[in-house]
Structure 1
Amino acid sequence: MEDSLIQVKFLNHKHSVHINRGETVLDAAKKAGVYINSPCGGMGLCGKCRVLIKSGQTRITAEERKFLSPEELEKGFRLACKAVPEGDLAVQAEEKKTESKILSTGVLNGELKFQPALGVKDVKIPKLELGCEKSYSGLLEEKLPGASYDLSILRELADITASGEDSFRAVMVGSQILTLKRGQASQSLFAVCFDIGTTTIAGELVNLSTGESVDSVSAGNEQGGYGADVLSRINYSSQSSENLKDISDVIVSQIDELISRLCVRSGIEPETVYSLFVAGNTTMLQLFAGINCSNLGKIPFINVLGRGTLLKAKEVGLKNLFPEGDVYLMPVIGGFLGGDTTACIAAANLNSEKQKLQLLVDIGTNGEIVLNNYGEITAASTAAGPALEGAKISCGMRADTGAVDECSLDGGDINCGCIGSGEPEGICGSGLIDAIACMLEAGVINMMGHFTDKPESFPDGIQSRIQKKNGEMEFVLSDSGSKHVSITQRDIREFQLAAGAIRAGINILLKRRGLKFSQLDEVLLAGGFGAFLNVENACRAGLLPCESTGCVSRISSIGNAALAGVKRVLLDSSAKEKLEIDCREIKHVELSVDTDFQMEFSEAMLFPQIS
């Protein structure tokens, strides 16, 4: 049996695993817990999962010949998803980027009331004497009327009273007793809240005694190795119960590690972190809870989660949280309108605003759109795809070190900004939008997205960037370093698909209410991506349906609204209760079956003319 196994060593991670013959390097990486970026989910469609074979052999595939040059293949570069070891293999995988643009702060609209459900109550009970007909549990119930508790509390009560102590503190969530703390134990209570995005994760440690933020943390979602978009992860997790457990364990372990990091940096014990509140799209929440997502991958896209869901830390598998502590998953509206959307609604206070016309847009792999029409809320989600996160773009990458993240026209040329101090390695979503807006402004591409057929008419700087490679037109952003960074005709098409889906979704919601974009009092852009956008360029590139430049002044970013919103419901139990009720009244527009969507989408594929 052992002869059929192959050993794969990941040299720069110091991990080694055995895999079956026929399995790939990407399969080995998942078993070893080594992160390899695989936006297409291992289908061989993106060419992003590059690894370097240091020893051993794999057979070169057609996909590898497509994405890797002869020189790269000669050096030993392969695609992890297609590289099948013929024998033992030593591999060097790409190191994780250390500098990323992940937004972990957001804006809260309206007043924040500090009334958390979690609190501490001091209890003093007398020592019972012989002949007394009372019990210690009875005394506890007298001191805390209406309180509920389980066997663990009775055991703690027995230990405390047996030691002769008569004073202790009860840590409670509402009427539920979580634990009993002896004597003058610290009254500080902590909780964590997280926004689990498809691409990135952001979290915050909160002192529930004061309401103050203690520390924050962020990271790329390590489920990225299973695909950049939710459908790739749904497909993987639906293949078997083992796959579901694998991908669920990845996110639970990562959240657990991030909680540990927050505790260590803040000098607190994990046992004093009593609750975790989580926002995320429907797929992310169900995978975090280990719930089968196959229904979300097929029409009619039915979710299992609904109103806010309460779990226990120990049943989720979290070790760096009080074992009996609550894990609260934000309410889900329906389909792909998940807990990230409801958290954004809470942050923007949309469900309490009756005097404005507001549009909330969370731009990402799955674009969520919420329209507040003087208190009547309509919402929709649209599959923008991962192009805006850097996937499906020839030189695309996340907003990490080396990513071109901004572009601007400067006379007869274009200037590009880059994350970090090194050379450009690729382009992220904000840079892609800027570059396309600049190309439109300069006339390099037309409203159809096609390259001009007269490049000689441009200034020398622009003209030198318009090139043809392997029979396809491209606009070169950087060619000075080791990486050739450009935007191809195919990249422009991918952007049009993503931007068109978001713009069409917005138009459908507005038309259903007989409204125009110019009538809106305010447009709120949620999410880290929205915070780093150049709004004028986003309108010029057709991401938002601006009819004139005057609309731009009403568009603003509210940052990581999902994290801000989940923090609001953590700190204000009444906001949590109101949100759960209001979410049932939100009208969900399913764009996939809307008869007008395809027409709107086709029109939105064209770049707009803005007056």
Structure 2
Amino acid sequence: MPELIFNGKRIDIAVGETLLAAIARAGEAAHSVASSCPGAGRCKECIVQVLAGSDALSDWTQAESFLRHHSDSEVAVHRLACQARITRADAVVRVEAFKRKLDIAMNGRAAADTFDPWITRDGARLLCDGKEFGNHAGSIHGLAVDVGTTTCVLHLVDLSTGDTLDMRAFENPQRFGGSDVIHRISYDGHNPGQLHRTIIAYLNREIRSLPVDPNGIVALVVAGNPTMRDLFFGIDVRSIGQSPFMSATQADILAGRRRSTAVWTGGQELGIDIHPQGRVYGMPLISNHVGADTAAVLATLPLNDRPFMMIDIGTNTEVVAGCESRLLAASCAAGPAFEGGRLGCGIAACEGAITRMRRRPDGWDLSLIGNGPARGICGSGLVDILAELRRTEEIDVLGRFDDGETRVTVADSPPLHFTRSDASELAQTKAAIGLGQAVLLRHLGIGPGDLRAYYLAGAFANHIDLESGRRIGLLLPVPDGHVVRIGNASVEGAKGVLRSRSCRDRIEGLVRQIEHLELEKEPDFFDLFAEMTQLQPISA
């Protein structure tokens, strides 16, 4: 009988069976391989590295073309586990989960609040807002944690001085439950608690590697979208995935059972390897799918009477606009396309990802992460290829190739193509994001030219070419001088809350004042969405 050795564990596998089907029987080890299709070769998440026995696997499929190298290549063999099948009864195939080294934004615009920690020490007595909660004689520290759908970042802070001592980042290990929040919610419904346990286990691994005594970590502040934050705290997320799409904490407010969507608990209750009585604070949500990560970003921004817009582009894109007297917020169901999901040519920002593209008569000028061959196109590169193909009029505003072709070649070895289907998927993602911005401006009664600041948050925003973004209608027609890239402002806002009682209290009040707009309830939603799918600048 064939044998599969996955991450060192032996698994029986049948001839004709996919690697993914067998890996699913590997217990906890199976969680290192993700799939959102599932098993259809569309999400491109279930990549494994084949260490031995590749000759006993089925031929490459079209879905795997982005991974294929010439036969004389010395590059390691990678396959999609859902596509590769065992072909021989005597096969012994050894594979490992593909470990991606992502380009992660670890810091950004800092909160400006004065250092005024709500966790202090009086001798050995630990105090939270002046009330004793434990004892520790040594130095005391805190962690600010940004739990994103794709990546996680944490900052270690000295609570005696406010100084940042260390920063760590890693890919969110929950990706085996899917690449977006909808898939994570569904997975958690069928496997309650597994995603929660996984993120806590990975966080504990990072904590143990920090240059301080874990017992001296006495406070944690957590930011994340509603699904990521609630999964971290072990809160049932099913209500976020069904109408009216809100966290159980928001539902409790509406029912009069609590005053804030913020979450307070202890490290011991969550199984986090910090001081047993350490305080863990989940930042408050704004509303529905606009979460604590957006609240954290707002903690870093100057709010005054000058109109601004903040956009954090990700699988769940959030937009906030207005000024001190009135703030509006909305979430845009963008999906994972700009992070490489659902695209034949797409890839996350990791080794081999194309980050920048310029069209030339005989091909492309490409910028890549790392020194290896091009394996796919990540977010900033995807914006560029759409913009360049529009500039050269090789595709029209609907993403159709002008010569009747269905794809354009980006690289020959390994073969990489951008297709009509890729353009269509990106156009719909772009439409969701553009629509959110346009609706908020309409409700405020202002235009792009009235914005005094246009804040772009997140790793994607750090690299996107502004002109390319404007050309395809992803970004508003705002002058470069008003555009401010603020990086990972979510973790910086969480750190601001950790360092400052006044910052924490200010954000608790601010989230109650923000008006949330449900975009799909706009009377002309479908007309607006159809208009925004066109690859052209947003009207000024």
Residue 269 of structure 2 is matched in structure 1 by: 315
CA distance in 1, matches of 2:27, 2:487: 32
> Does structure 1 residue 106 correspond to structure 2 residue 108?
yes
My pick for the range that moved more, 495-504 or 292-301, is 292-301
Residue 131 of structure 2 is matched in structure 1 by: 176
Report the CA distance between 1:595 and its aligned residue: 2.1
Deviations 1:345-394 (A, max 9, x none): 11224xxx232101010001011000123421110001001001111111
CA distance in 2, matches of 1:234, 1:524: 29
Pick the aligned partner of 2:164 from 213, 225, 231: 213
Secondary structure of the residue aligned to 1:495 is helix
Secondary structure of the residue aligned to 1:104 is coil
Residue 242 of structure 2 is matched in structure 1 by: 298
Deviations 1:40-96 (A, max 9, x none): 3556533442444956999979xx855247x98xx9986434778899974413431
CA distance in 2, matches of 1:37, 1:50: 8
Residue 462 of structure 1 is matched in structure 2 by: none
Residue 377 of structure 2 is matched in structure 1 by: 427
Residue 410 of structure 2 is matched in structure 1 by: 477
Q: Is the 1:343–1:561 contact (alpha carbons within 8 Å) kept by the matching residues of 2?
A: yes
Residue 145 of structure 1 is matched in structure 2 by: none
Matches within 5 A, 1:240-319: 243-261=191-209, 263=210, 266=211, 268-306=212-250, 307-319=261-273
Residue 280 of structure 2 is matched in structure 1 by: 327
- Aligned length in residues: 516
Matches within 5 A, 1:216-235: 216-235=167-186
Q: Which runs of 5+ in 1 are unaligned?
A: 123-168, 455-467
Secondary structure of the residue aligned to 2:418 is strand
Which amino acid is the alignment partner of residue 527 of structure 1? G
Which amino acid is the alignment partner of residue 33 of structure 2? I
Secondary structure of the residue aligned to 1:336 is coil
Residue 381 of structure 1 is matched in structure 2 by: 331
Secondary structure of the residue aligned to 2:249 is coil
Residue 396 of structure 1 is matched in structure 2 by: 346
Secondary structure of the residue aligned to 1:96 is coil
Q: Is the 2:11–2:22 contact (alpha carbons within 8 Å) kept by the matching residues of 1?
A: no
Residue 500 of structure 1 is matched in structure 2 by: 431
Q: Is the 2:286–2:295 contact (alpha carbons within 8 Å) kept by the matching residues of 1?
A: yes
Secondary structure of the residue aligned to 2:374 is coil
Q: Is the 1:341–1:562 contact (alpha carbons within 8 Å) kept by the matching residues of 2?
A: yes
Q: Is the 2:145–2:153 contact (alpha carbons within 8 Å) kept by the matching residues of 1?
A: yes
Change (3 A) 1:505 1:30: farther
> Does structure 1 residue 347 correspond to structure 2 residue 280?
no
Report the CA distance between 1:15 and its aligned residue: 3.8
Deviations 1:277-301 (A, max 9, x none): 1111111011111222111112211
Q: Is the 2:215–2:275 contact (alpha carbons within 8 Å) kept by the matching residues of 1?
A: yes
Deviations 1:442-471 (A, max 9, x none): 2211222111228xxxxxxxxxxxxx5xxx
Change (3 A) 1:81 1:31: farther
> Does structure 1 residue 358 correspond to structure 2 residue 308?
yes
CA distance in 1, matches of 2:54, 2:25: 15
Secondary structure of the residue aligned to 1:204 is strand
Q: Is the 1:41–1:228 contact (alpha carbons within 8 Å) kept by the matching residues of 2?
A: no
My pick for the range that moved more, 29-38 or 52-61, is 52-61
Pick the aligned partner of 2:528 from 575, 595, 600: 600
> Does structure 1 residue 116 correspond to structure 2 residue 127?
no
CA distance in 2, matches of 1:44, 1:428: 18
Which amino acid is the alignment partner of residue 328 of structure 1? Y
Report the CA distance between 1:529 and its aligned residue: 1.2
Which amino acid is the alignment partner of residue 302 of structure 1? M
CA distance in 1, matches of 2:424, 2:152: 28
Residue 256 of structure 2 is matched in structure 1 by: none
Give the TM-score taking structure 1 as reference length: 0.78
Which amino acid is the alignment partner of residue 293 of structure 1? V
CA distance in 2, matches of 1:410, 1:217: 39
Deviations 1:527-566 (A, max 9, x none): 11111211121111211232xxx63321121110111111
CA distance in 2, matches of 1:405, 1:427: 7
CA distance in 1, matches of 2:300, 2:389: 35
CA distance in 1, matches of 2:143, 2:415: 42
Secondary structure of the residue aligned to 2:431 is helix
CA distance in 1, matches of 2:185, 2:442: 32
Deviations 1:7-28 (A, max 9, x none): 8531xx3345689999823424
Deviations 1:569-601 (A, max 9, x none): 111111111211221121111113332322211
Residue 40 of structure 1 is matched in structure 2 by: 37
Higher radius of gyration, 1 or 2: 1
> Does structure 1 residue 92 correspond to structure 2 residue 95?
yes
Report the CA distance between 1:238 and its aligned residue: 1.1
What is the percentage of aligned positions where both structures have the same residue?
A: 30
Residue 126 of structure 1 is matched in structure 2 by: none
CA distance in 1, matches of 2:100, 2:42: 22
Pick the aligned partner of 1:14 from 8, 12, 19: 8
Q: Is the 1:41–1:233 contact (alpha carbons within 8 Å) kept by the matching residues of 2?
A: no
CA distance in 1, matches of 2:439, 2:162: 40
CA distance in 2, matches of 1:80, 1:366: 27
Report the CA distance between 1:260 and its aligned residue: 1.9
CA distance in 2, matches of 1:17, 1:588: 50
Secondary structure of the residue aligned to 2:487 is coil
Residue 543 of structure 1 is matched in structure 2 by: 474
Q: Is the 2:267–2:276 contact (alpha carbons within 8 Å) kept by the matching residues of 1?
A: yes
Residue 253 of structure 2 is matched in structure 1 by: none
Q: Which runs of 5+ in 2 are unaligned?
A: 72-76, 251-260
